Amino acid sequence: MNRDVTSKRENKHSAGRQKKGTLHVETSILVLGLFVALLLCSFTPLPFKKSLEAAFFREMSFLNFL
């Protein structure tokens, strides 16, 4: 009986550790993606960057309209 309680407690703790691990991986991927996006934005030519900004603001104004 005592072993069952201990094993259940260990299973709960291992599940919590597993969730924290996947959250850490997801956060790392997100930060890496943002870093790559910033690098791409810094190296894009100016006319292309202006058209991207215009498209972004058009999209944002459309979303504000909703």
Residue 11's pLDDT is what? 60
Q: Which domain covers residue 36, as residue numbers?
A: 2-65
The C-alpha atoms of residue 31 and residue 35 are separated, in whole angstroms, by 6
The C-alpha atoms of residue 50 and residue 44 are separated, in whole angstroms, by 10
Residue 31's pLDDT is what? 87
**pTM of the prediction?**
0.38
Number of domains into which the chain is organized: 1
Token reading at 38: 């910033």
pLDDT in tens, 8-63: 656 665 555 555 667 788 888 888 888 888 887 777 666 776 787 888 888 777 77
